[in-house]
Structure 1
Amino acid sequence: MNNDGAAQPRNASNDVRVEERDPIAGGQPQPTTLPATAAETTAERPWPLHLLSEKLKAHLERAPAAWVEGQVIEVNRRSSMCFVTLRDVDAEVSLPLTIRANVLSRLELPLEHGSRVVAQLKPDFWLKTGRLSMQTWQIRQVGLGDLLARIERLRQSLAAEGLFAARLRKPLPLLPHRIGLITGRGSDAMKDVLRNASLRWPAVEFEIREVAVQGVGCVGQVTAALTELDALPTVDVIIITRGGGSLEDLLPFSSEEMVRAVASARTPVVSAIGHEADRPLIDEVADLRASTPTDAAKRVVPDVAEEFQRIRQSRVQLSRAIDTLVSRETERLTHLRSRPVLAQPEGMVSVRVDDVERLRGRARLAVTSAVARDVDRVHHLRTQIRSLSPQNTLDRGYAVVQLKDGSIARDAAETPAGAHLKIRLARGELAATALAASPTSHPKETS
């Protein structure tokens, strides 16, 4: 197959040989070489129309059959054929189908306008008319159970990714100044949100995006409006709301594209789809789920009357707390002033004066006693020293004999004759010379 989708010829040459009748040659067939691919055709070397049709048909016949889903918007029954127009459920795209009677006969319920179906289609190209048709090999109606099962499978898949984790929820602002509102055109849901929010907080402002809230285009329009509002720095919170409806009407709010768009929004998103019993998948990823549009307005903005009442109550409680604190502290000061230490502060000094006098008397007595004891002790020690003093011995008539070098002579035998002696008496000293040593205990000395 070439880049244009046309099939390559099976022969080795890149050209195609065909026969044309030349009127000059008497109408006899003449061989002509044609380009092998569409890219090689020119104004001088064009393809015959039948060759293009044959190549298109050959290419389309190689395409596999595909299962598609859509909504029936037109049914035209004929004897053996049924011509149906199928529209995409999320986009403005439609496709005509050709269904044979034997295929329709296998349906449990008749095919009607608005039915949601899945069909196995195979493209077919008619050579004579150059018309492309979609042959339907199989077709099945999508029932309520199939839709619920499909939503449940998507729910489990997204939950496994962690898209529904509570930690991803963003807190709503305490007092939003501007609210982004995505709702249907002129819908009751929009009126409920605007009316209830304005009644609760008259200063609130809205950035409204009116979109399709069901059917074809709902997913794309809601997602685009959400992206636009999320990019506005002045929008503090976004509400996506619509009234109740059937499962098919609310199905776009369970589409994976819209769920991921809500999950990736940086601005807090409030989901208020349908009634309390309705639970589309965007409720699982929204930062707050409101049961109704009215509930969304009540939970996004505070009630100004309630806030004023809370302010009044807070002021009363604050005033009461201040009065209680002042009274308690006044009583505490009165109690402190009534204590003796504050009533008669000089009494504390008087008591301390008596204590000081008493302690000073005790200290003086202790010092006097200690001095007297020490005087007696010194006198006693002096007496002991005097009794043991050498002077006391001299006073009794003894003398101390010293040699010339100052040493004391203790043995007469050791004192040589003629040695100069110094005799110390009780009072005064004598100089003497040793004449001779005597072995007696009382040697005679001559001065």
Structure 2
Amino acid sequence: MNTGPTSPEQPWPVRTVARKIADWINRLGAVWVEGQVTQVSARPGTATAFITLRDPSADMSMTLTCPIGLVRGQQPGVVEGNRVIVHGKPTFYPGRGTLSLRVDEIRAVGIGELLARIERLRRLLAAEGLFAPERKRRLPFLPNRIGLITGRASAAERDVLTNARARWPAARFRVINVAVQGVTAVPQIRTALSTLDADPSVEVIVLARGGGSVEDLLPFSDEALCRAVAACRTPVVSAIGHEPDTPLLDHVADLRCSTPTDAGKRVVPDVAEETARLRQLRDRGRRALHGWVDRERRLLDSLRSRPALADPLGPLRRRAEDIHALRDRARRAVSAALAVEQNGLTATKARLTTLGPAATLARGYAVVQRIDPAGAVDVLRSVSDAPAGTLLRVRLTDGAVHAVVSDDGADLGDNNPMASGGSGGVPGA
């Protein structure tokens, strides 16, 4: 057998490639595999049965071959939809170029084992926080469109649509029908979930299914589906089975409804209740507005009845009258004070006039002043201060005259009249 490298000039024949693959696969050891039976072919008269085993969480499958007696003698029987655990060895058949798992033992997965696995998965998801209440999102009050994932023409679909539209006739749905049990359920549900989550008009997604056995509801406890629901950006409502049924999807979803009917009632509000609530709120708003208007009107009336607003010019007039009265009083007080001061000034003037030298001069007296050579003038108080030749100024009531003291003026005394007068003066006697 040629084992050298291949080339366009030296290619391997098909048999060589098939043998090499068979040799490599035959070196693999036996394995235990779990899956869900989707097809069983055990024709009478044949020694080999063919089984298709599918992964419940992924779109993958493989072919099993086993003695036909292993299938017929299995209790319970190997039928489509059952979960089984098989022990076998990968085998490549060069003649057909196919790969299968040659099985020598098949074990059915019982209900107890399934429940135990679900419980382990429940603890795992809870530890990761997928059940935490704080990660639950509130549903929109009135979603623009509701995504519904359910079985085709199922009672669950009818319950959700009927009850939702009975409460809100304008509710809009985008329905995607999928398999809700069996090996294709999880892949189809995940595809529908991603489709609705990517639709911006869908604001809430409802997963609905009627009741069933534990095996029928197994897809809704699938780990891959639970993680897909947890990763959704759109709120998800779980309405699986009846009230006692609690698949893991109920804990991961944002809202758990006991039945599809309950889901139809909770995703939309009741138009009658909302209309009544609006009517009540409108009445309350009207009463509150009327009360506020009445209160403000009373306040305006009380403000308008106050003197400052009832007669806004009255205080100004009264203040003007007060100002006029005060001005008149001030004028009278000033006039009285001026009159008193004028009278005092007149009396003082009279006294000064009476006591002044002018009055004395008017009675016939004169004031004699001496003029010294420097031209200074002072009152002559004694005859001794006026020797002969002293220039004098005599002040009378209507003017003044000048005189010169004579030589014998001092001896004559008061009986000797003065011999000179006039403005120019007269030489001595």
TM-score (ref. length: structure 2) = 0.63
2:39 matches 1:71: no
> Secondary structure at the residue paired with 1:248?
coil
Summarize the Cα distance change of 1:102–1:299 in structure 2 as closer, same or farther, 3 Å threshold: closer
**Residue in 1 aligned with 2:229?**
262
The alpha-carbon deviation at position 210 of structure 1 amounts to: 0.9
**Residue in 2 aligned with 1:175?**
142
User: What percentage of residue pairs aligned between the two structures are identical?
Assistant: 50
Instruction: Name the count of aligned residue pairs.
Output: 346
Q: Is 1:100–1:136's contact at 8 Å kept on the other side of the alignment?
A: no
Q: Is 1:56–1:125's contact at 8 Å kept on the other side of the alignment?
A: yes
**Residue in 2 aligned with 1:88?**
54
Q: Is 2:49–2:65's contact at 8 Å kept on the other side of the alignment?
A: yes
Selected match of 2:259 from 288, 292, 297: 292
The 2-side partners of 1:45 and 1:269 are apart by 56
Summarize the Cα distance change of 1:240–1:425 in structure 2 as closer, same or farther, 3 Å threshold: farther
Tell me the amino acid that sits aligned with residue 241 of structure 2: G
The 2-side partners of 1:85 and 1:340 are apart by 105
Q: Is 2:64–2:102's contact at 8 Å kept on the other side of the alignment?
A: no
After TM superposition, list the pairs within 5 Å mapping 1:17-28 onto structure 2.
Answer: none
2:174 matches 1:207: yes
Q: Is 1:219–1:255's contact at 8 Å kept on the other side of the alignment?
A: yes
**Residue in 1 aligned with 2:24?**
59
Tell me the amino acid that sits aligned with residue 158 of structure 2: K
**Residue in 1 aligned with 2:354?**
none
Summarize the Cα distance change of 1:284–1:186 in structure 2 as closer, same or farther, 3 Å threshold: same
Summarize the Cα distance change of 1:126–1:307 in structure 2 as closer, same or farther, 3 Å threshold: closer
The 2-side partners of 1:221 and 1:70 are apart by 17
Q: Is 1:35–1:41's contact at 8 Å kept on the other side of the alignment?
A: no
Q: Is 2:237–2:253's contact at 8 Å kept on the other side of the alignment?
A: yes
Deviation by residue 1:99-121 (Cα, 9 ceiling, x = unmatched) = 6999999x9x6455354222232
The alpha-carbon deviation at position 181 of structure 1 amounts to: 1.6
The 1-side partners of 2:206 and 2:6 are apart by 54
**Residue in 2 aligned with 1:307?**
274
Q: Is 1:175–1:301's contact at 8 Å kept on the other side of the alignment?
A: yes
Selected match of 1:98 from 62, 66, 71: 66
**Residue in 1 aligned with 2:342?**
none
The 1-side partners of 2:195 and 2:267 are apart by 20
Deviation by residue 1:240-278 (Cα, 9 ceiling, x = unmatched) = 211122222122122232223223333332222222333
The 1-side partners of 2:266 and 2:217 are apart by 22
RMSD of aligned C-alpha atoms? 4.7
The alpha-carbon deviation at position 358 of structure 1 amounts to: 8.6
Deviation by residue 1:163-193 (Cα, 9 ceiling, x = unmatched) = 4455544443332232222110110010111
The 2-side partners of 1:310 and 1:350 are apart by 58
The 2-side partners of 1:122 and 1:350 are apart by 119
The 1-side partners of 2:147 and 2:181 are apart by 19
- Unpaired runs of 5+ residues, structure 2, are 339-373, 380-429
> Secondary structure at the residue paired with 1:85?
strand
> Secondary structure at the residue paired with 2:266?
helix
> Secondary structure at the residue paired with 2:238?
strand
After TM superposition, list the pairs within 5 Å mapping 1:155-304 onto structure 2.
Answer: 155-166=122-133, 168-304=135-271
Q: Is 1:189–1:241's contact at 8 Å kept on the other side of the alignment?
A: yes
The alpha-carbon deviation at position 198 of structure 1 amounts to: 1.7
Tell me the amino acid that sits aligned with residue 61 of structure 2: V
The 2-side partners of 1:222 and 1:283 are apart by 15
The 2-side partners of 1:44 and 1:354 are apart by 130
Tell me the amino acid that sits aligned with residue 93 of structure 1: S
> Secondary structure at the residue paired with 2:192?
helix
Deviation by residue 1:125-173 (Cα, 9 ceiling, x = unmatched) = 6899998663445554323333233233333434444444555444433
The 2-side partners of 1:146 and 1:426 are apart by 154
The 1-side partners of 2:187 and 2:12 are apart by 46
The alpha-carbon deviation at position 323 of structure 1 amounts to: 2.0
The 2-side partners of 1:219 and 1:191 are apart by 22
**Residue in 2 aligned with 1:378?**
none
Summarize the Cα distance change of 1:130–1:308 in structure 2 as closer, same or farther, 3 Å threshold: closer
**Residue in 1 aligned with 2:419?**
none
Selected match of 1:319 from 264, 272, 286: 286
Q: Kindly name which structure, 1 or 2, has the bigger radius of gyration based on alpha carbons.
A: 2
- Unpaired runs of 5+ residues, structure 1, are 1-33, 372-421, 428-447
TM-score (ref. length: structure 1) = 0.61
Summarize the Cα distance change of 1:354–1:134 in structure 2 as closer, same or farther, 3 Å threshold: same
> Secondary structure at the residue paired with 1:236?
strand
The 2-side partners of 1:333 and 1:367 are apart by 48
The 2-side partners of 1:248 and 1:426 are apart by 154
Q: Which stretch of the first structure deviates more once superposed, 254-263 or 124-133?
A: 124-133
The 2-side partners of 1:83 and 1:173 are apart by 53
> Secondary structure at the residue paired with 2:217?
helix
The 1-side partners of 2:182 and 2:282 are apart by 53
After TM superposition, list the pairs within 5 Å mapping 1:290-439 onto structure 2.
Answer: 290-343=257-310, 345=312, 348-349=315-316, 352=319
The 2-side partners of 1:216 and 1:115 are apart by 9
Q: Is 1:124–1:133's contact at 8 Å kept on the other side of the alignment?
A: yes
> Secondary structure at the residue paired with 2:215?
helix
**Residue in 2 aligned with 1:13?**
none
Q: Is 2:240–2:259's contact at 8 Å kept on the other side of the alignment?
A: yes
Deviation by residue 1:52-81 (Cα, 9 ceiling, x = unmatched) = 776455323311222211234649699xx9
